[in-house]
Chains A and B, each alone.
Chain A
């Protein structure tokens, strides 16, 4: 196998499915007391308040603080992570640190909290403004997204299911996937895998068998000895690596990344409004009634 080909697998990943992360983000047992959680208008207002009050220390949009930590940095673990904890830090400060009490009007503090939550959370925490129904039409029509992606059992098979995409990807990451050729999400270096997870890169491959048969498809899994490929003919192919003539890792993803050009700004915004609300409710196990 060619090294250069393999190293491109992760680099061209499409919309990555991370079910474990989704559960972590959305599986809170205690209801969120923030009255503005997930409210797009309130979050936009919270961002305004944040950029007036907090940026001197924490940096614009929470990305690069000069006198205090970046609140939305990708690789950081936060001591204050729940909405009440963030709210408390805003209003009462953090004793022993430079973080002062701010005593904002209560609604403003909750809106800033919702905004910071969104910086750390996924798209469902900061859903886009726009016409959701029209966005759904774009998804199924002009955008042709449905040709490859499935939502709630309807759609194509060659891309990842998007039924829960807003719960597993950030807003900015969905925009990147629609508009940037290179939009791989780098992994957090501090994470330490404890189990094997499904392969999530949707890497296009062209496999040539020793007898010259060529199969194009999407790589569903592989290791040093075998490949599992979902063919463009919707068939599953199971290969032993040592029985193949060539495995070519197609460097270009099947995902188009010019949606900001093929759609009007309004259509794009509406598509985002639709996509950023795609989340499967967290299952709730009924209490009591057991034997």
Chain B
């Protein structure tokens, strides 16, 4: 390093430069729980930005008045990676990016590598990031370990296997609160959520999605069909410190598309669950799609907002669900408040009962020949994160319009038969092709604006809201776009050159705000030229 050789011959100058350097980058990353509770907006400390999953940054240097001047600051190429889905984490000028079994720390000002951690087997795809806490970087591995790395060096501090046989981690970023690291996953016995001690990695508790005989919820599975499992947990949850409650979504029942071998509601699949972080005990649950036969996992982000509902302030939990409904729940008790469609075509249900149970349209189930349903199995939305702006009081989300055809392999499918018994296709009918939009909804579920992402048709990237009045939205086709949060008007765009399936984030170093996003195998950061900052 040039600086060190220079310093070796000029001690006084070295002291001066070291002082400047320490002002520029602090690699401490000693984030406390208080930092996570009230994050410095210059940092982006967790997957969803904040515990409430609003993905709204208070930074406003980049705003509607100057975003047209935004320029690429740097590109970091993650050699060998594809299809990056991680949201970068930034702590005091250091960015942490990840792929399965691989974490890299970058100088967030310029995109230069500081350290790299790799472990076999190197695996591509569907890994969504790391967490940071008290000088450690936490990530789940494809070999089902939770590992803690030293944030300064990337050295392995400890690793802890997911508790229990055959449990797999699913690539979600961990959530850290009250000294615990919370991770979810799947496995032979069904989905699970586990807590580990953040200092030692010691397993603290497990909550299982699928109940066992004698446990509440088992009555929702006919016979011993609970053994089919399902309910994978593959996304991060949210945390309300005042209510001491974790909120998490669960996935579809086992043998996705074949419902007649598991009659009943199949609890606690396709649910939003509230857990006590100290014990892992469930406080309440809400099932979005009882007896799901279309793979509509309830894994979409759980956004916590305190806002009036019908004239009364409520602690809301908001979710735009893969099944096409926009839900408002009271997060203190799980009470259903509202469920409204957010896609134009929704064929499987005719509204909801007062307690939020969908009124299912007969004949919507998959068939051997294939049955059309809207939305498709890919979902009316999916894991790409929504955002909520407390200034506009609007909820922003990626919407996938379109329909699908769902198949099951035979009319008397049995578990264990060859083939998964599942399959789905995009609908071949006119006007039912998958098409992505960014939509802004008010809390009544009404669409305020809608922006079509031309040629983007599957999953797509998440969103970022900022106090600058901007919604940053990647497009599957590679465009990174800034939209006016009030109107949806395009204010700026940049062709990243790769497929985007990750969510953007923002941070600030040395007084300069950056916006960053992963695109294919690259991380790109954008900032204003100095002259444009106002």
The chain A residues found within 8 Å of chain B, CB to CB, are: 1, 3-4, 6-11, 59, 64-70, 73-80, 94, 96-99, 182, 184-190, 192-196, 199, 222-225
Contact = CB atoms under 8 A, between A and B. Distances in A.
Given A194-B83, A195-B82, A223 B424 contact: no
B87 to A, nearest CB: 18
A186 to B, nearest CB: 4
Decide if the interface of chain A is mainly helix, strand, loop or mixed. loop
Contacts, number: 142
Interface stretch (B46-54, B92-100, B151-159, B475-483): B475-483
A223 B82 contact: no
B409 A65 contact: yes
Interface in B65-105: 82-83
Contact of A7 (B424, B435, B458, B520): B435
B454 to A, nearest CB: 4
A182 to B, nearest CB: 7
Interface stretch (B134-142, B206-214, B300-308, B411-419): B411-419
B418 A69 contact: yes
Decide if the interface of chain B is mainly helix, strand, loop or mixed. loop
A121 B171 CA distance: 33
Interface residues of B, number: 51
20 contacts: A1-B454, A3-B452, A6-B435, A11-B431, A67-B411, A69-B409, A69-B410, A73-B409, A76-B409, A186-B426, A186-B427, A187-B425, A189-B377, A192-B83, A192-B458, A195-B499, A199-B455, A222-B454, A223-B475, A224-B477
B378 interface: yes
Given A3-B452, A79-B418, A186-B428, A10 B433 contact: yes
Contacts of A97: 416-418
Contact of A70 (B368, B376, B412, B458): B368
B501 to A, nearest CB: 8
Interface in B467-498: 475-479, 481, 490, 493, 495, 498
Nearest to A75: B423
Contacts of A11: 430-431, 433
Nearest to B404: A189
B453 interface: yes
Given A7-B431, A70-B410, A94-B418, A190 B453 contact: no
Contacts of B223: none
A189 B454 contact: no
A193 B407 CA distance: 21
Contacts of B420: 76-77
Given A192-B459, A224-B493, 16 more contacts: A3-B452, A6-B452, A65-B368, A68-B409, A69-B413, A76-B407, A76-B409, A76-B423, A97-B416, A182-B428, A187-B426, A189-B376, A190-B423, A195-B498, A195-B520, A196-B478
A224 B475 contact: yes
Ranked 9 nearest A-B pairs via Cβ: A75-B423, A69-B409, A189-B424, A194-B83, A69-B419, A186-B428, A224-B454, A186-B426, A223-B477
